[in-house]
Structure 1
Amino acid sequence: MTTHRAGTGRARRRRWPAVVVTGVLVAGAAGWAVAYGPLRGEEAPRTADPEAVRTARAFLSSWAAGDLAGAARLTDSPAKAEETLRNFTAGLEIAKPVLTAGAARVDGAEGAEGAGARVPYRAKMPVAELGTWSYGSELAVARTDAGWRVRWELPLIHPQLNDKQRFKLVEEESAELAAVDRDGKAISAAEHPSLVSVLGLGGGKPRGEVQVVDRITGETRATAVRFGPDPGEGGGPLRTTIDARTQAAAEKALARHLDGRNAGLVAVRIDSGEVVAVANGPAGGFNRAFQGTYAPGSTWKVVTSAALLAKGAVTPETRVDCPKYLTVGKQFHNVETSEIPGASFRQDFIHSCNTAFVALRGRLTNDEMTVFAKDHFGIGPEWKTGVGSVDAEVPVPATETEKAAALFGQGRLRTNPLAMASVTATAVSGKFHQPLLVKGTEQPAVATKPLPSGVVKQLRSLMRDTVTDGSAKVLASVPGEVGAKTGTAEVTEDGNNNGWLVAYDGEIAVACVVEGAKSGSGSAGPVLRDLLAELASG
């Protein structure tokens, strides 16, 4: 069992300024995927047959729209596909799923005629009144006598679905739940409305889980997703790590600046990983802060930079040009097609230059980011906070284009404010602490290595400069030595983005994401500014 010592309340400082903003679902490069074509002197990456990709997208579209017969007709086993799709939806009380296709890749040998395609996708399944079940899977498309068809196999619905196991929904109503903050003081739904969906305050709230069970015996083999909190041990109050003042300030800041948009925010203690605030917009809605699945946008450059600096691939003073455009299978560009000729890596970081990071892709191997994120930031293994949460994903890129996008937080990367608050805390302390919300939660061991002290010093300096001279100047008025990184993550090529901001001070790291935003500094910026300023004033 892993436990963390709580602070004493009166003895600790009340400034609490460390914020991290996370999150956005992404379909292209960090907000900038437009034209296609190879770099001069480079071989163009193989692309999947457009008809194969269209078939995969049509299957997902029909499934999401409830046209299960239509979706089944696009497979090579229509009868079986329709039967399974209907059973899956009915048995789990899923309303209308949201299915988002990712970047397709060729499925077949080099040069093979009629090679198929593999298309990853993200699923958001609204389960009854419990919440959203988010996960990723993949479709394989092959040429048949009838044309392109999705290869029907049970794991395409969910990776854990097969001929020996199925899913089962178990529901119950939560009892009246008493909860206390890190100092043992009672916390209520009236004072902290965001904690209603996070902890289940007030009682009578539905909770449950989707279980993986044996098809024959019905024996439970695993839990695919859990909704709602566990009751307090021994019937006593739920002992949390929440700091009531920070929680109230976070909810107040979100409510002031959201204008009806969805958002999530998490603040953690840098020295322990303990969660001191969780806020969502709307306050009683889906727990995006813990269970959202977003591309992190340029806030991920904190991790990319850590990997490059630790390897000695760059220093803050290394010259890395920031051109308007750079093409790697598709064209990447910066906000408003800006450029910084002759830029240093420090300038690239503080002004969030996407093309500079794309240009550095050859200095990291394909799997290096995945391994580095796991070894130093604890991303990959399962986390246990005490309530339901979705773990971040850093998959190995399938193509050079995907790799380029991942370096600045796009592609198939999936995070949420919980993950990015932890990332920020790790970056500025050098040590990963698994986040915790409910005291006494038994946490699985996550083996990590500390970041080199020199890298930590460089990251803190880069993030501080981002506030004083870069894209996070919105925080410049906050007292204390605050550092930050902005992020603007593309959801669709022609729609609104998700705005991110992450920040830190001497005690906490905070992450906030605002959906349907123009930029991180413009949307999440005012939220974090108000939160940190209020905490610094007390």
Structure 2
Amino acid sequence: MPEDRPAPARRARSRLLRPAAVAVVACAVAAGGAYALQWGPFSAATPEVDPAAVAQARAFLADWTGGRMESAGARTTSPDEAQNILRNFTAGLDISKPKLTAADASVATDGTVTVPFSAKMPVKELGSWSYESEIPVRRQENGAWKVDWSLPVVHPRLSSTEKFRLTREETDTLQVTDRTGAPLSADKSPSLKPVIDQLGRTTGGGPRGSIERVDRVTGEVTATEMRFGKETEPSTEQSVRSTIDPTWQRAADRALAAESDGKDAALVALRIDDGEIIAVANSPASGFNRAVSGTYAPGSTWKIVTTSALLLNNAVAPDDIVDCPKYLTVGKQFHNVETSEFPGASFAKNFTESCNTGFISLRKKISDSELGDVAKNYFGIGQQWRVGIPSFDGSVPVPGDQTEKAASMIGQGKVLGNPLTMASVAATAASGSFRQPTITEDGKATTTTTALPQAVVTQLRSLMRATVTDGTARGLADLPGDIGAKTGTAEVSESAPNNGWVVATRGNVAIAVVVEGGITGGSSAVPVARHLLDAVPQDLS
């Protein structure tokens, strides 16, 4: 009916109701709405998650990660049993440093709060075992929240009838030599012990083993949860030659010993032109090879990859103005190191001073999957590498929301790497082409990548050089050579100090250093890199 034509009087009168009838209808609607929203059989009000319950679950995971089993047990309804099970599980399976990550909590109608978590368990000298589990948290009579202890909290298939057992396969070992053919010795280079052990096994693919599920009574194997290593034919060789350069290796060991301040730290140096690894150093020297198999947020060193994605998209140029405020909120508040700010800064200034907020502000210039695509297609990150020893080759998942994407732009969130992967990133930025890292002379590449455009390479080199001359890596500025670098400060948790990072290139060498709990890359990792580069002034040809 046209808007300017009045309705017939009879229809208008049909809309009139007596006040009593209106009241009846209103009550009926109100009652029906209440029934549907609260009292009906098809829905119910969902209780809110108590932050105190989530905090208790996260504290339990933090204690477990940190090896504080007594404290972790005290957060449960069965302290003694929980403490013993956690200790036996972690130590019995030779797990060095669990990485436990909580997900979003949910609450049931009975008030139980459930906090799912992902577990990444590094099994010494074998690799990582990953799985998912969840923590139920219940309010106790005294009002406190406690983890409702049961065996599946540790692993969903751990039970009163079945447990886990680690089995290592015995292998003969070969003599391992450096690139000159001279024998390598863990006595002279303690950091190389895991490398020598891994390379020296006749399997040629590192150690082998498995985590099995067994019957608690009979000991019978009921299932294999995880297998490590590859089945290969025994070698007929008497030795295996590595790519380790003895001069660089000794200097790397000394650099960590002198500058890591007793903190856990790791370093990798490799040749830019062919990816051959010339030094691997870990502090402490014995134990887990964190330099090659560790999993870390790379922090702002990852901005090399982010910058590449932006430049490939023509989304920004070095001289473009990209404001760098102290804070930027994208689902949560992000800030710069020591809440620094650079109003009206150029993009180049954002890179050299490692401005988080400036980089995050550019997140809409690339698609959600683009950062991972660039990392994979140009830098080889996330592809399967054949290094010659077990390695973690990086991971860049597609972010689940804008907060995760913001974190990924600055090497946080779910982006993971280690000194091996980040030394390779620096090498690719310097040369323009990814060379799969290898520690054996007969290593075979298993990756497919595309070379970066020369214009992008030129800009990356310029930005990394400016970071040394005028930015956060200025601690390397007075060393000889055309050194380029990028520092990083990676957040670990709200309670743990940040990890310090630096990657650097000079001549034909790229290096990466991480210092756990080092606070900032400039104060902790740069001194290690400086000590190394100062000790070996000669560039490799």
User: Normalized against structure 2, the TM-score is what?
Assistant: 0.74
1:533 Cα deviation from its structure 2 partner: 1.9
CA change 1:273–1:119 in 2 (3 A) is farther
2:432 paired residue number: 430
1:275 paired residue number: 277
Query: What 5-or-longer segments of structure 2 have no aligned partner?
Result: 1-47, 215-219
The correspondence of residues 342-491 of structure 1 with structure 2, limited to 5 A, is: 342-442=344-444, 445-491=446-492
Greater relative CO, 1 or 2 (CA 8 Å, sep 6+)? 1
1:218 Cα deviation from its structure 2 partner: 7.6
1:361 Cα deviation from its structure 2 partner: 1.3
The aligned amino acid for 1:454 is A
Preserved contact between residue 352 and residue 464 of structure 2 (Cα < 8 Å) = yes
CA change 1:145–1:498 in 2 (3 A) is closer
Q: Number of residues paired by the alignment? A: 471
Superimposed CA distance per residue, residues 435-454 of structure 1 (whole angstroms, 9 cap, x where no aligned partner): 111233455x2222221221
The aligned amino acid for 1:243 is D
Aligned Cα RMSD in Å?
Answer: 4.2
1:209 Cα deviation from its structure 2 partner: 3.7
CA change 1:325–1:92 in 2 (3 A) is closer
The correspondence of residues 179-218 of structure 1 with structure 2, limited to 5 A, is: 179-200=176-197, 208-211=207-210
Q: Find the aligned partners of 1:116 and 1:500 in 2 and give their Cα distance.
A: 37
1:169 Cα deviation from its structure 2 partner: 2.8
Instruction: Name the stretch that deviates more: 416-425 or 360-369.
Output: 360-369
CA change 1:531–1:102 in 2 (3 A) is same
The aligned amino acid for 1:180 is T
Structure whose CA Rg is larger: 2
Match of 2:327 among 325, 328, 342: 325
**Is 2:329 the counterpart of 1:311?**
no
2:92 paired residue number: 93
The aligned amino acid for 2:381 is I
1:518 Cα deviation from its structure 2 partner: 2.5
**Is 2:512 the counterpart of 1:515?**
no
The aligned amino acid for 2:521 is G
Specify the SS of the correspondent of 1:327: strand
1:94 Cα deviation from its structure 2 partner: 2.5
Q: Find the aligned partners of 1:522 and 1:299 in 2 and give their Cα distance.
A: 15
Preserved contact between residue 297 and residue 414 of structure 2 (Cα < 8 Å) = yes
Preserved contact between residue 96 and residue 288 of structure 2 (Cα < 8 Å) = no
CA change 1:277–1:57 in 2 (3 A) is same
1:190 Cα deviation from its structure 2 partner: 3.0
User: Normalized against structure 1, the TM-score is what?
Assistant: 0.74
Q: Find the aligned partners of 1:171 and 1:314 in 2 and give their Cα distance.
A: 52
1:96 Cα deviation from its structure 2 partner: 7.0
CA change 1:469–1:221 in 2 (3 A) is same
Query: What 5-or-longer segments of structure 1 have no aligned partner?
Result: 1-46, 75-81, 109-113
Preserved contact between residue 92 and residue 169 of structure 1 (Cα < 8 Å) = no
The correspondence of residues 70-219 of structure 1 with structure 2, limited to 5 A, is: 93-94=92-93, 98-102=97-101, 104-105=103-104, 119-125=116-122, 127=123, 130-131=124-125, 133-134=127-128, 136-139=130-133, 157=155, 169-172=166-169, 175=172, 177-200=174-197, 208-211=207-210
The aligned amino acid for 1:93 is G
Q: Find the aligned partners of 1:300 and 1:436 in 2 and give their Cα distance.
A: 21
CA change 1:347–1:115 in 2 (3 A) is farther
Instruction: Name the stretch that deviates more: 91-100 or 500-509.
Output: 91-100
The aligned amino acid for 1:365 is S
Q: Find the aligned partners of 1:88 and 1:173 in 2 and give their Cα distance.
A: 26
User: Which structure carries more helix by proportion?
Assistant: 2
Specify the SS of the correspondent of 1:372: helix
The percent identity for this pair of structures is 45
